[in-house]
Amino acid sequence: MGKEELIQVHKDIAPFIHKTPVLTSQLIDGIAGVHLFFKCENFQKMGAFKMRGATHAIMNLSEVQKSKGVVTHSSGNFAQALALSAKSLGVKAFIVMPSSAPGVKKEAVKGYGGIVIECEPTLEARASTAKAIQEKEGVTFIHPSNDLDVILGQGTACMELLEEVPDLDYVFTPVGGGGLIAGTALAAHYFSETCKVIGGEPFEVDDAYRSLKSGVIESNTSANTIADGLKTQLGNINFPIIQKHVEKITRVTEAEIVAAMKLIWERLKIVSEPSSAVALAAFLKEKETFKDKKIGIIISGGNVDLSHLPF
Amino acid sequence: MGKEELIQVHKDIAPFIHKTPVLTSQLIDGIAGVHLFFKCENFQKMGAFKMRGATHAIMNLSEVQKSKGVVTHSSGNFAQALALSAKSLGVKAFIVMPSSAPGVKKEAVKGYGGIVIECEPTLEARASTAKAIQEKEGVTFIHPSNDLDVILGQGTACMELLEEVPDLDYVFTPVGGGGLIAGTALAAHYFSETCKVIGGEPFEVDDAYRSLKSGVIESNTSANTIADGLKTQLGNINFPIIQKHVEKITRVTEAEIVAAMKLIWERLKIVSEPSSAVALAAFLKEKETFKDKKIGIIISGGNVDLSHLPF
């Protein structure tokens, strides 16, 4: 693993993803006292950075594996990302989704050509259902975040950001399953001498914060956050990368998430998920520490239910 | 007036405005059966295309006029646009606003350095109050839409769009006071041999549609539309330009406006005003007519109250 490998990953997936824009706002800079650069993965295909990792994971399969197909379990963006990237690459995709997932999400996966398999809404049922399909169909399981190919794919967002703004001092990302922040940390490590990576995490699901403190992967007992993309936990592949290359994780309240989300919508004029606002909220919480620095914020996605907005 | 003049206008105002991005969506193209190019003036300074016309109108004043200041009456985007562009150019701006205007709008104008003068919430009171300030302070009145310098400034948005996508077949804009569509029509006339301009207008305020039919400027008796930026009427300067250079005006229902707005928010992932959705709604209404054409849509602005969304 190294800089050259990430460059190759980016080259491989480039035809299948968007190079997303980097937005700035003088007004938010004025409020924040720094220079902020927002990497807008809400404009990515299917509306989230997950498209990068899913595409790379499928491309990296053998021809035999590709001919059989892939399976994952997800109720969120990775479900759509794997379905769409599989379709782009001519590969069959089985997506295990909890029966409780909103109909609109199941329809979106089907719209991208994915085969939806419903299961009981427990983590155990998801895993065992995916396992059963894997064995029955001979397909390859692709984990949404604890997979090195997925992690490297997610890292290409920060790589593009650093190409555009090479002298960033910090990059903030949200932390859910750990794929985005691990990929971002690798990209910052390879492509900058100085850029540090900080994670934002809701107090309500602060497993990554606690994992870094204790040195072992911690779980959440509850998951009462608006940032529904961040309810998952770290895995054994991304955790060591996070331990080694992430500066720290800052926890934020639900009110801080909503306030940051409102700022993004009102000032940047973009539709983005609550999870994305967690990264900005983490920065804003300690903004005095970063005076006059150049700060990147990864806006992770824009798939949000407009009829359930928090404002 | 001609192509060279518009090029000069653009050169003059360029340091004070953003060159806004043009967004596309494969998904919306699939729904629409055409190639759509969205010129995103919601990303313009202060959040709307009005910044272009206001900046140009002030720049075109004499030094004596600039030293005295400007006045306008507006409860909408032009109030903020004139205040901000005046501030950028070191000119004093008086903004006459109805006492009924939301506090947040008055504060926004003050935040940009404008001097807010309140008046009774009638068109007559607005005009007479502006007139009184004009006489008392010796300042120059700048109309939000019925002013050739304003119209030329607004035309630079379409000029930029045609530079980026030279072979557009049609451009759709919303129609309110007529400044944007008149400027767009001039730009299309100067910078394309083939590009036609179509206006979108709510049935609820269809004064421009009726004006083109009757040949004289018509008024609205009521203004019950969500597209609050389109409640104004045409003027004697922009109307002849519209008569000469606009292909037609298509009227849309309130439900069509909300549906188009939802499509923009969900698929383009951008925050935009209901008025902007009127342009897309007008296109969608007759989309079969435009099969495989290249269509520009001017997204006019993004200043919207997030606590009062129609979905």
Whether B84 and B109 have beta carbons less than 8 Å apart is answered as: no
Answer whether B310 touches A (CB < 8 Å): no
pLDDT on residue B257: 98
The yes-or-no answer on residue A75 being catalytic is yes
**Candidate from B43, B266, B311 with C-beta closest to A269:** B43
Q: What is the ipTM of this complex?
A: 0.93
Query: Which CATH fold topology does A3-48+147-308 show?
Result: Rossmann fold (3.40.50)
Architecture of domain A51-141: 3-Layer(aba) Sandwich (3.40)
Set of chain A residues whose Cβ sits within 8 Å of the Cβ of B15: none
Short-list B112, B295, B266, B282, CA closest to B194? B295
Q: What is the pTM of this model?
A: 0.95
Answer whether B274 touches A (CB < 8 Å): no
pLDDT on residue A226: 96
Taking the C-alpha atoms of residue B69 and residue A14, their distance in angstroms, rounded to an integer, is: 52
Instruction: State in words which class domain B3-47+147-308 has.
Output: alpha beta
pLDDT on residue B75: 83
pLDDT on residue A97: 96
Task: Spell out the residues 6+ positions from residue B234 whose beta carbon is closer than 8 angstroms to its own.
Answer: B146, B177, B178, B207, B208, B211, B217, B242
What parts of chain A have a pLDDT lower than 50? none
The encoded tokens of residue A34 equal: 């720094």
Whether B175 and B208 have beta carbons less than 8 Å apart is answered as: yes
Answer whether B307 touches A (CB < 8 Å): yes
What parts of chain B have a pLDDT lower than 50? none
The yes-or-no answer on residue A87 being catalytic is no
Domain boundaries, chain A: 3-48+147-308, 51-141
Answer whether B47 touches A (CB < 8 Å): yes
pLDDT on residue A217: 98
The three-class DSSP label of residue B229 is helix
pLDDT on residue B109: 96
**Candidate from B21, B269, B271 with C-beta closest to A47:** B269
| Residue of chain A minimizing CA distance to B111 | A27
**Candidate from B21, B47, B269 with C-beta closest to A42:** B269
pLDDT on residue A103: 86
Task: Check CB contact under 8 Å for A265 and B309.
Answer: no
| Residue of chain B minimizing CA distance to A48 | B269
Task: Check CB contact under 8 Å for A262 and B306.
Answer: yes
Answer whether A309 touches B (CB < 8 Å): yes
